[in-house]
Amino acid sequence: MNRLQTRRDAEVLVETRGEVSAGAPDYARVKIAAVLDRLEEPVLAVRVRLVQEPNHAVARPSMAQVTVDVNGRPVRAHVAAATMREAIDLLQDRLVSRIARLRHHRRPARTPLGWADGLDPEHRPQRRHRAPEDRRLVRHRSYSGARLGALDAVFELEAMDYDFQLFTDAGTGCDSLVYRGAAGGYRLASTGPVPSPVPGLVASRLTVPCLTAAQARARLDLTGLPFVFYTDAATGRGNVLYHRYDGHYGLITPAA
């Protein structure tokens, strides 16, 4: 792990995993610092992670991720590429677009921009294949109890560079999900009634299934989808079970 002091006194942590080339950390520092130097807001912390996948059959084995605390607002970018240098270049571009979305959100009129704002979906990290019997639930995360509007949830998704965002809708009080559509743009699903139209979002009219944890896992494995949004049979709340990039499972639930 390496450290660097930026002109804003933010400590930059660079972590590497796998056979990352010796020059890659320094190259990442230069590229990320070039973005931070243009910011007017104080940068409180920066963490960069470079991962080199050992499987040569993977088309994009080099992954790069950065999380920046911009005056208390975390912003994240995550990319994959054929080489680590390309991944770092893409990471710089992606971070610029994430920060731009942070500023765009502050303006009164805002609508989701989707993939057109900076990164081809082909450069998303690939999920490592694991046999179903080898998969484990390795992360359980709860989201904040604060209620959001659908566009605010999209903002959270974009700022953190996620593929989906689970939230409690401010208008209906129902557990809801915004997520990236396969053909671009964003979609909205809810455990309650069909949401009112939201500019820039396509509302799903499918009923969110009520499942046990075991049934959700079986559905995820059977469909091969990246995630399953369901109402938990035990709690009655909306949950998301998803495939992590390491091939294991992650679970997101509402805060108690």
Q: Which residue has the higher pLDDT, 113 or 190?
A: 190
Enclosing H/E stretch for 2: strand 2-5
d(CA 109, CA 30): 34
173 burial level (CB within 10 Å; 0-12, 13-18, 19+): exposed
pLDDT digits (tens, 9 = 90+) for 155-185: 888 888 888 999 999 988 999 999 988 767 8
Mean pLDDT value across residues 20-32: 95
* Reported pTM: 0.77
Enclosing H/E stretch for 253: strand 249-254
Q: Give the residue among 164, 234, 252, 235 at the shortest CA–CA distance from 204.
A: 164
